[in-house]
């Protein structure tokens, strides 16, 4: 006769925590919610015994992503929003020719060097802020004729205050060391 033991309280707590992490990860990556059947099939497929190797973990990761139908390219991420805004800006405004996409990517790279809570805001508002900050950095001041802040606010439907705070943070992050050096000399 098969008698199923109930899991220990610490094991239940770990399971609950793992499910919480999975739900949070699904929300961050804008993927569909997890179904219990998919997790059950994943567990049946991956967990065979109690001894795990690195290979088992890497196979489990691949299987997990397959069960979730996770594709990196389908998420609404900052890069995709930035790219879309950049190409639309080049079509709409003549001054868009002066905006350098490489500068936008450099600003994003600088931003991701620091682990900060600013990265957890909406991808569209962060992309809008990166575009505006790059515009301010690369386009000569004499050519600032286009109302770029109003334009990105209209396109992204983000709050102007949120975009402004992000722009201030980005510019301070980019020019902070230079301004500090100038102030001390």
Q: What does the domain layout of the chain look like in residue ranges? A: 9-72, 78-184
Residue 161: predicted pLDDT: 87
The rounded mean pLDDT for the chain is 73
Residue 15: predicted pLDDT: 75
pTM above 0.75, yes or no: no
Give mean pLDDT, residues 112-123: 67
Cα–Cα nearest to 98, from 134, 129, 124, 130: 134
Residue 72 DSSP symbol:
G
Give mean pLDDT, residues 105-133: 78
What share of the chain in percent tops pLDDT 90? Answer: 1
Q: For the beta carbon of residue 128, count every other beta carbon within 10 angstroms.
A: 28
Contact 25, 61 (CB under 8 A): no
Contact 173, 113 (CB under 8 A): no
More confident residue, 180 or 164: 164
136/8 Cα distance (integer angstroms): 58
Contact 166, 126 (CB under 8 A): yes
Q: Is 69 left (phi over 0), alpha (psi -120 to 50) or beta?
A: left
123/121 Cα distance (integer angstroms): 6
Per-residue pLDDT reduced to its tens digit, 20-54: 777 776 666 665 555 656 666 666 666 666 555 66
More confident residue, 122 or 8: 122
């Amino acid at each position: 006769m098969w008698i199923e033991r109930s899991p220990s309280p610490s094991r239940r707590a770990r399971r609950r925590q793992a499910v919480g992490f999975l739900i949070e990860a699904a929300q961050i990556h804008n993927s569909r919610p997890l179904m219990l059947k998919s997790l059950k099939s994943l567990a049946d497929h991956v967990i065979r015994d109690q001894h795990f190797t690195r290979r088992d973990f890497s196979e489990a990761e691949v299987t997990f992503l397959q069960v979730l139908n996770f594709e990196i390219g389908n998420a609404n991420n900052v890069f995709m929003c930035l790219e879309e805004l950049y190409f639309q800006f080049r079509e709409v405004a003549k001054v868009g020719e002066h905006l350098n996409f490489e500068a936008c990517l450099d600003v994003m790279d600088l931003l991701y060097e620091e682990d900060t809570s600013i990265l957890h805001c909406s991808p569209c508002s962060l992309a809008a802020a990166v575009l505006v900050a790059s515009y301010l950095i690369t386009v000569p001041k004499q050519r600032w004729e286009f109302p770029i802040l109003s334009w990105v606010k209209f396109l992204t439907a983000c709050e102007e205050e949120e975009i402004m705070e992000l722009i201030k943070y980005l510019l301070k992050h980019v020019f902070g060391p230079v301004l500090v050096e100038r102030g001390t000399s």
